[in-house]
């Protein structure tokens, strides 16, 4: 697999972001390049002053799901922010903000957490993705 793994992150809830971070770290550990493209509510979650907040869970998590997540966190589970930071040390993980979503949310580049490497349009995303898998989360 020389082709990169390409993740379009749309959802900004902690459960989906955790799933995305694990998929990213797993691919990076295998030496695969990973391109992450942040849109909408996922982009919002990467704002410098938002990133360490509680971003909620999908509605279907329910009270029981919430308890499981809180319990694991209290037991020391690392959050998606830290999983992504570690993934960047394992291999080439490039995280780009979608320029259209930046406009939508009124975000400027300095507002973004240092995890984000830049801002690009959808065309650049496709060119970097090549024939690699594209996963929308």
Residues that bind its own copies (CB under 8 A): 1, 3, 5, 8, 10-13, 15-16, 19, 22-23, 25-27, 29-30, 32, 39-41, 44, 56, 58-61, 65, 68-69, 72, 77, 100, 103-106, 121-123, 125-127, 129-137
In the complex with its own copies, the residue whose CB is nearer, 52 or 100, is 100
We find the least distance from the C-beta atom of residue 61 to its own copies, in angstroms, to be 6
In the complex with its own copies, the residue whose CB is nearer, 89 or 131, is 131
Angle between helices 80-90 and 14-29 (to 10 degrees): 20
We find the least distance from the C-beta atom of residue 66 to its own copies, in angstroms, to be 12
Q: What separation, in Å, do the N-terminal and C-terminal C-alpha atoms of the chain show? A: 21
In the complex with its own copies, the residue whose CB is nearer, 71 or 114, is 71
Residue 74: strand pairing partners: none
Exposure b/e, 84-122, CB count within 10 A at least 16 = b: bbbbbebbebbbbbbeebbeebebeeebbbebbeebbee
The C-alpha atoms of residue 52 and residue 40 are separated, in whole angstroms, by: 17
The C-alpha atoms of residue 64 and residue 57 are separated, in whole angstroms, by: 11
Which residue is associated with the tokens 């691919």? 27
We find the least distance from the C-beta atom of residue 113 to its own copies, in angstroms, to be 18
We find the least distance from the C-beta atom of residue 30 to its own copies, in angstroms, to be 6
In the complex with its own copies, the residue whose CB is nearer, 56 or 85, is 56
């Amino acid at each position: 697999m020389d082709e990169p793994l390409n993740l379009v992150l749309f959802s900004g809830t902690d459960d989906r972001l955790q799933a995305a971070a694990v998929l990213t770290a797993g691919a990076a550990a295998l030496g695969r390049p990973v391109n992450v493209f942040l849109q909408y509510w996922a982009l919002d979650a990467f704002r410098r002053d938002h990133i360490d907040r509680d971003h909620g869970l999908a509605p279907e998590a329910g009270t029981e799901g919430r308890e499981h997540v809180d319990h694991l966190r209290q037991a020391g589970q690392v959050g998606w922010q830290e999983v992504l930071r570690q993934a960047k040390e394992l291999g080439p993980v490039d995280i780009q903000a979608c320029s259209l979503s930046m406009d939508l949310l009124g975000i400027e580049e300095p507002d973004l957490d240092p995890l984000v490497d830049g801002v690009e349009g959808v065309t650049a995303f496709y060119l970097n993705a090549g024939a690699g898998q594209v996963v929308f989360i």
